[in-house]
Structure formats: structure tokens, C-alpha cells
């Protein structure tokens, strides 16, 4: 039994060893297949197109996974991870980076450095901390990047892409898109900025990525454009970078520049500066000077600039502020009109006149006015002014006395009474008049009018001014039409509620000589004593200034007598006022139905009972 058991155990071990061997063979085979496939993929990514140019677009579009290469060069950071002097903010909306350093309280509140970057639409938003660093790193798309610092996952700060892990294989097309959203998910920056982050921001440095259109505390630097045949990043601090031999220098700074006092100075006029790649850098120049454009003297202006490669240039120019321009009169008329000899005074001559000296206004007390003996007609007057730098200006004007002013007259047929529908505005007012000067019609634009509303019309004040400033004035006014009612005289009616009978003989007239049908008149009836009634006639009409009512009254006699018994009141079709108690109340055969002495009388019935 023991032998059989030992044999069974040996057989089980053999089977287990065989299975283990098979598993090992399968694992090795899978690893070889994966390695071969990866190598094939990498070689395939470098396949040339029909033009013989490597298809880098396809490589950069491959975003599935971060590739790994044996040629990745890890950066050995010598800085202590406990010392984190900086924090990094990335604004996806503006493709900009702001580096903050600690303030005296240990908070990252002090803006220190700005960078231009290119993010991707898939770049995550949030707060992260840096970790791995690489001097060279193969990245998504199987392209290479310098000075890479990991932010989170496969998102890194790194340089613009290279075709290989050599510094002279820069992909120029993508470099010149720096500042736009174009990466897979990494944050691309220039080699200079990428190296700075790698060397100055140890692992654990805080990174905040967000989206905002708000203005940042530091302006985003201008990205450098490289020529199409460039192979190096011009900002790479590597000593072997051939761009290091290029020096920045201002041109056109030499020689003293003369500037007229008070004029605007273009400090870049005639001055040029180009960056490492020959791009115009004028907009990035910083100026420093104490130059006062309103004070004579010689001043220094210091120019300084730094390009994206970190190269700097400085220069100093000399500016001399001079004053050689004479002052100028403003608001001075060649001919001034005066109504009398006594009006020709220095005060009147200088009204509205001032002096400008190199964009500076001088006090009128500087002006000297020479007035000769004034006579009717033309008089020549001399004015002169001298500035603080002995520059003098002289001018002469003609003071014209007793020139006949223009005449304003109403046009033929213009009435002072206007229809209710007439709109009164500037156009209507000016259409009513003409102006002449010495018998010659003046242009319409020489006439102005002011309109003042009155109770039932408007007052006009016209002014016509000639080329010498003389003015003719006309006052005029208009009123809207008004209506009056002529009531009938000694009117006798058979039905006090019949409006047509009450309007017989009534007239509705206006002060323009027109009339309206009497049917437009409203009537109100009020009982008097016996068979007498007071009838009030009214007509309301409206203009743009409001409304008016014409009224008149008449005593009307009702033919026949009313019954002695007070009938039940019936509503009248006309609105009537409460009748006043008559002097002699009518007798009643039924005292119990009579109104109380202090109660108002009943309304007059609208119809007469039969038999009356």
C-alpha cells in the first residue's frame, strides 16, 4: 500500500511540472509577440508618405496609451521634495501658465513668471501634484519631448514635440502653433520653460488646471515663431544650441532726437528690435524715462526687451524737448460785427477766443489787443500773443460796425389761428417765415426758431444770422381754433327730452369763420318753475395742448302744463343735474306721496302721460 501511494505522488508531481512548463512557455511567447508588435508599431509610425515625409500627424493623433521606451531619460532631481518654492496655475481657456512663489506668510500669492503653453481639449481640470521627471520622454503619438514633468496620469509638462530623442529633430509645424489648443492632453511649452519647471519645481509641486476668461496677473508672453527649416528649439538652454550665437540688438537708437514741446512722442519711431529667430519684437519693448513732454530739456530713454529664448537687449536714446512753434489763436473770427462803436471792446473781441501753445492752453491775459479809433464801417484790429519761449503770433481782424441785420417776415397767407389737427414743430414753424439780407433771400439754415407752448397755442422767436454775426429777430405766435355756441332764443318745445327740438335754432361756430352741425352739441336739462327749463349746451374739442369746452345756456318753455300728480320717474336719456327746489312747490292731492321739504325734486319724466 505504501509503494502504491509513493508512485501516485510521483506521478502527480510530474503532471504539475508539465503544466508549469506549459504556462512558462505561453508567457514567454506572449511577451515576445507583444514586444514584436510594439516594435512594429513604432516602426510603422515612422512610415514615409508618398512625398517622402514622415507622417507625424498620424503619430501625434495616436492617443490610446503613453508609450514606454528604453531610451527614456529620467531626470535626477537634486532638490529636496520638502522644499516647494513654487505653485503652478494653468489656464486652459487662455493657454497660459502663471508661476506663483511663496509670500512672507508661506502662501503662494506672488505672481513670479508667466509662460505661454498649448493644452489639449482632454487636458483635465483640477488640482494635482507633480511626480516623475524626464530629460527625454517618448509621449503619445510616439514622438519625443524634452524636460518632461508628470502632472497626473499621462499628462505632463514638456517641450514641443521632436521626431526623435535628438535636439535637432524639432517638429517646426507644431512649434509654431504654441499658444493654441492642439495637444493630446499634455501641456506643451517651450524648451526653456519646460527645463525651468523640471529643475525648479520638485516632485509634489501643486498644479491647478482651470478654465477662465478673466485677466491674469501677468500677461501671457508672445510665442516665438521659428523658420520652417529650423531643427532646434531656439529657447533650449543647451550650450550646443546654435541659436545661442544670435545676439539681440536695437537699431535706430543712436543720435539725439528733437521733439517739439507738448507733442505726442512715438518712442519706437525709427527703432527696431528682432528676436532670436528674426521676428519683430517692438511690441515687447519696455521703456524707462523721466521725460516731461511739456518741459524743455534733454532726457534719456532706456529701452529693454527679452525674447522667448531669454535673451535680453538694452539701449539708451537721447531726447531733447524744444519749443520752436509759435502759439495759435483758436475761435478768432476774421470779421466781427458790432451793433455800435461802443461795443468794440477788448472784452467783446476776446469772447470765445483762446490760445493754444503746443497742446497747452494759455491764459487770455497774454493776448495784446490794439484797437484804433472806431468808426462806422470796417475797422482793423491787431492781436498778438507771446509764449514763454519768445515765440510770437500776430493776427488782424475786421470789426464791422452798423451792418444792417437780416429781416424776417411771415410768408403770405400765414394765419395766427390754426386747426386742431396742426402739429407744431421746428419744420412747421420755419415754414411760416422767410429771411432776407439787403433784399436777397438768405439760406434756410441761417434761420433758427425757439418754440414756447402757451395755454392754447405757441410763441415763436425767430433769429436770422448773417455771415458777420448780425441777427434779425421776429416774434410771432399761433393759437388753435376755438368754438362758441349760440343758443336758441325763446324756444318752446312739446317734449323737453327731444334733443332735436332743444337744438332748434342753436349754432356751433369757430373763430376761423367755420361752423359745425348743431348735432355735435351735448345738452343737459334742468327744471325751473312751472313750465320753464334751463337747458345747458356744451361742445368739447381737443388739440395737442389739451381740451376746451364751449358752453351756453337758454331757458326753454314746455308747451302745456304738467299734471298735478307727480308721476313715477323714468330715466332720461340725457345726463341732468340735480334740480334745485322751485320757489313754489307744485300742489299735490296726495300729501303722503309728496317729497319731504328738504329732499331734492324728482327727475323730469322723459315722456308725457297720455291726455296731457
Predicted local confidence at residue 21, as pLDDT: 66
* Structure confidence at residue 468 as a pLDDT band (50, 70, 90): confident
Dist. CA 521–CA 536, nearest whole Å? 10
Q: At 153, phi and psi to the nearest 5?
A: 55, -130
Under DSSP, the state recorded for 125 is P
Predicted local confidence at residue 55, as pLDDT: 42
Looking at the chain, the whole-number percentage of residues with pLDDT higher than 90 is 70
Predicted local confidence at residue 40, as pLDDT: 39
* Structure confidence at residue 494 as a pLDDT band (50, 70, 90): very high
pTM of the model: 0.52
Predicted local confidence at residue 603, as pLDDT: 39
* Chain center to CA of 146: 46
Predicted local confidence at residue 54, as pLDDT: 38
428: its cell numbers: 412747421
Under DSSP, the state recorded for 232 is S
pLDDT tens per residue across span 199-210 = 999 999 999 999
Residue count of the chain, please give it: 612
pLDDT tens per residue across span 150-177 = 999 999 999 999 999 999 999 999 999 9
Q: Pick 106 or 42 by higher pLDDT.
A: 106
Element (H, E) at 2: helix 2-45
- 394 has a pLDDT exceeding 60: yes
35: its cell numbers: 514586444
Task: Identify which of 184, 121, 180 has the alpha carbon closest to the alpha carbon of residue 158.
Answer: 184
Torsion-angle region of 433 (φ positive above 0: left; ψ -120 to 50: alpha; else: beta): beta
Q: Pick 434 or 83 by higher pLDDT.
A: 434
Predicted local confidence at residue 28, as pLDDT: 56
| Distant-in-sequence, close-in-space partners of 53: CB < 8 Å, separation ≥ 6 | none
| Distant-in-sequence, close-in-space partners of 495: CB < 8 Å, separation ≥ 6 | 501, 607, 608
- 567 has a pLDDT exceeding 60: no
Dist. CA 374–CA 380, nearest whole Å? 9
Predicted local confidence at residue 168, as pLDDT: 96
Torsion-angle region of 560 (φ positive above 0: left; ψ -120 to 50: alpha; else: beta): left
| Distant-in-sequence, close-in-space partners of 480: CB < 8 Å, separation ≥ 6 | 417, 418, 419, 420, 422, 456, 457, 543, 545
* Structure confidence at residue 575 as a pLDDT band (50, 70, 90): very low
* Structure confidence at residue 29 as a pLDDT band (50, 70, 90): low
Predicted local confidence at residue 30, as pLDDT: 55
* Placement of cell 539681440 in the chain: 248
Predicted local confidence at residue 32, as pLDDT: 53
E strand map for 13-169: 73-74, 86-91, 96-102, 108-116, 126-129, 133-139, 143-152, 155-158
Predicted local confidence at residue 476, as pLDDT: 96
535: its cell numbers: 337747458
Is 344:397 a contact under the CB 8 Å cutoff?
Answer: no
Of 241-250, 543-552, 553-562, least confident by mean pLDDT is 553-562
pLDDT tens per residue across span 260-278 = 998 999 999 999 999 999 9
Q: Pick 574 or 251 by higher pLDDT.
A: 251
* Structure confidence at residue 487 as a pLDDT band (50, 70, 90): very high
Task: Identify which of 526, 547, 430, 382 has the alpha carbon closest to the alpha carbon of residue 480.
Answer: 547
Dist. CA 186–CA 153, nearest whole Å? 10
Q: What average pLDDT does the segment 325-337 reach?
A: 92
Predicted local confidence at residue 79, as pLDDT: 75
Cβ neighbours, 10 Å, residue 356:
13
237: its cell numbers: 538652454
Predicted local confidence at residue 338, as pLDDT: 87
CB-facing half-sphere around the CA of 154: CA atoms within 13 A: 15
Predicted local confidence at residue 592, as pLDDT: 39
- 4 has a pLDDT exceeding 70: no
Looking at the chain, the whole-number percentage of residues with pLDDT higher than 70 is 81
Dist. CA 464–CA 474, nearest whole Å? 9
Q: What residues are paired with 401 via a beta bridge?
A: 338, 377
* Structure confidence at residue 138 as a pLDDT band (50, 70, 90): very high
Predicted local confidence at residue 117, as pLDDT: 97
Q: What average pLDDT does the segment 362-390 reach?
A: 93
Is 124:185 a contact under the CB 8 Å cutoff?
Answer: yes
- 346 has a pLDDT exceeding 50: yes
Q: Pick 470 or 590 by higher pLDDT.
A: 470
Q: What average pLDDT does the segment 250-254 reach?
A: 93
Predicted local confidence at residue 577, as pLDDT: 45
Is 460:451 a contact under the CB 8 Å cutoff?
Answer: yes
Torsion-angle region of 204 (φ positive above 0: left; ψ -120 to 50: alpha; else: beta): left
| Most confidently modeled range among 31-35, 47-51, 506-510, 582-586 | 506-510
CA angle 120, 126, 132 (to 5 degrees): 75
Dist. CA 425–CA 183, nearest whole Å? 67
- 195 has a pLDDT exceeding 80: yes
Q: What average pLDDT does the segment 400-410 reach?
A: 86
pLDDT tens per residue across span 40-98 = 333 333 333 333 333 434 434 333 467 888 899 999 887 777 789 999 999 999 999 99
pLDDT tens per residue across span 516-548 = 999 999 999 999 999 999 999 999 999 999 999
- 470 has a pLDDT exceeding 60: yes
Predicted local confidence at residue 584, as pLDDT: 43
Element (H, E) at 318: strand 312-322
From residue 303, alpha-carbon distances to 96, 250, 289, 300, 441 in Å are 26, 8, 9, 10, 65
* Structure confidence at residue 589 as a pLDDT band (50, 70, 90): very low
- 307 has a pLDDT exceeding 70: yes
Predicted local confidence at residue 37, as pLDDT: 42
Predicted local confidence at residue 183, as pLDDT: 78
Predicted local confidence at residue 401, as pLDDT: 86
- 305 has a pLDDT exceeding 90: yes
* Placement of cell 543712436 in the chain: 254
Predicted local confidence at residue 235, as pLDDT: 96
Four-residue CA torsion sign, 506, 511, 516, 520: negative
Helices (H), 383-493: 426-430
Mean model confidence pLDDT for the chain:
84
- 608 has a pLDDT exceeding 70: no
Amino acid at each position: 500500500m505504501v509503494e502504491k501511494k509513493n508512485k501516485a505522488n510521483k506521478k502527480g508531481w510530474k503532471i504539475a511540472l508539465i503544466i508549469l512548463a506549459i504556462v512558462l512557455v505561453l508567457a514567454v511567447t506572449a511577451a515576445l509577440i507583444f514586444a514584436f508588435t510594439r516594435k512594429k508599431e513604432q516602426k510603422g509610425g515612422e512610415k514615409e508618405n508618398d512625398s517622402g515625409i514622415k507622417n507625424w500627424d498620424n503619430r501625434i493623433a495616436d492617443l490610446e496609451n503613453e508609450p514606454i521606451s528604453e531610451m527614456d531619460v529620467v531626470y535626477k532631481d537634486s532638490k529636496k521634495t520638502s522644499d516647494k518654492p513654487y505653485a503652478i496655475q494653468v489656464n486652459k481657456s487662455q493657454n497660459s501658465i502663471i508661476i506663483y512663489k511663496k509670500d512672507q506668510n508661506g502662501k503662494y500669492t506672488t505672481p513670479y513668471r508667466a509662460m505661454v503653453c498649448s493644452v489639449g481639449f482632454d487636458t483635465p481640470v483640477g488640482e494635482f501634484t507633480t511626480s516623475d521627471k524626464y530629460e527625454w520622454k517618448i509621449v503619445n503619438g510616439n514622438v519625443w519631448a524634452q524636460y518632461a514633468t508628470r502632472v497626473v496620469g499621462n499628462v505632463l509638462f514638456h517641450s514641443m514635440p521632436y521626431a526623435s530623442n535628438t535636439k535637432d529633430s524639432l517638429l517646426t509645424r507644431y512649434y509654431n502653433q504654441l499658444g493654441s489648443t492642439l495637444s493630446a492632453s499634455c501641456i506643451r511649452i517651450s524648451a526653456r520653460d519646460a527645463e525651468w519647471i523640471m529643475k525648479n519645481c520638485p516632485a509634489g509641486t501643486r498644479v491647478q488646471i482651470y478654465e477662465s476668461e478673466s485677466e491674469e496677473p501677468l500677461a501671457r508672453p508672445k510665442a516665438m515663431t521659428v523658420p520652417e527649416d529650423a531643427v532646434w528649439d531656439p529657447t533650449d538652454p543647451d550650450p550646443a544650441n546654435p541659436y545661442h550665437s544670435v545676439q539681440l540688438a536695437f537699431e535706430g537708437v543712436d543720435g539725439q532726437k528733437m521733439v517739439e514741446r507738448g507733442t505726442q512722442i512715438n518712442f519706437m519711431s525709427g527703432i527696431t528690435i528682432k528676436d532670436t529667430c528674426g521676428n519683430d519684437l517692438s511690441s515687447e519693448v519696455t521703456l524707462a524715462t523721466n521725460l516731461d513732454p511739456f518741459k524743455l530739456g534733454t532726457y534719456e530713454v532706456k529701452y529693454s526687451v527679452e525674447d522667448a529664448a531669454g535673451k535680453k537687449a538694452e539701449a539708451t536714446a537721447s531726447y531733447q524737448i524744444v519749443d520752436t512753434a509759435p502759439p495759435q489763436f483758436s475761435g478768432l473770427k476774421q470779421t466781427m460785427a458790432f451793433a455800435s462803436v461802443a461795443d468794440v471792446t477788448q472784452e467783446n473781441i476776446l469772447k470765445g477766443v483762446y490760445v493754444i501753445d503746443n497742446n497747452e492752453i494759455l491764459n487770455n491775459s497774454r493776448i495784446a489787443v490794439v484797437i484804433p479809433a472806431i468808426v462806422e464801417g470796417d475797422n482793423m484790429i491787431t492781436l498778438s500773443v507771446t509764449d514763454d519761449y519768445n515765440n510770437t503770433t500776430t493776427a488782424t481782424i475786421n470789426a464791422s460796425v452798423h451792418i444792417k441785420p437780416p429781416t424776417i417776415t411771415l410768408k403770405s397767407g400765414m394765419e395766427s389761428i390754426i386747426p386742431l389737427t396742426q402739429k407744431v414743430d421746428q419744420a412747421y414753424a420755419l415754414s411760416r417765415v422767410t429771411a432776407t439780407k439787403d433784399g436777397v433771400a438768405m439760406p434756410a439754415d441761417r434761420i433758427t426758431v425757439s418754440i414756447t407752448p402757451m395755454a392754447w397755442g405757441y410763441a415763436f422767436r425767430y433769429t436770422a444770422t448773417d455771415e458777420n454775426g448780425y441777427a434779425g429777430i421776429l416774434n410771432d405766435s399761433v393759437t388753435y381754433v376755438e368754438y362758441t355756441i349760440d343758443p336758441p332764443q325763446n324756444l318752446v318745445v312739446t317734449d323737453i327730452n327731444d334733443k332735436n327740438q332743444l337744438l332748434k335754432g342753436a349754432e356751433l361756430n369757430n373763430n376761423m369763420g367755420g361752423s359745425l352741425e348743431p348735432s355735435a352739441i351735448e345738452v343737459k336739462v334742468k327744471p325751473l318753475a312751472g313750465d320753464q327749463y334751463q337747458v345747458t349746451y356744451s361742445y368739447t374739442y381737443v388739440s395737442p395742448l389739451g381740451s376746451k369746452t364751449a358752453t351756453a345756456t337758454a331757458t326753454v318753455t314746455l308747451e302745456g302744463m304738467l299734471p298735478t300728480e307727480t308721476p313715477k320717474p323714468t330715466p332720461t336719456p340725457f345726463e341732468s343735474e340735480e334740480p334745485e327746489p322751485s320757489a313754489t312747490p307744485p300742489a299735490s292731492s296726495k300729501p303722503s306721496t309728496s317729497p319731504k321739504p328738504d329732499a331734492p325734486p324728482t327727475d323730469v319724466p322723459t315722456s308725457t302721460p297720455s291726455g296731457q
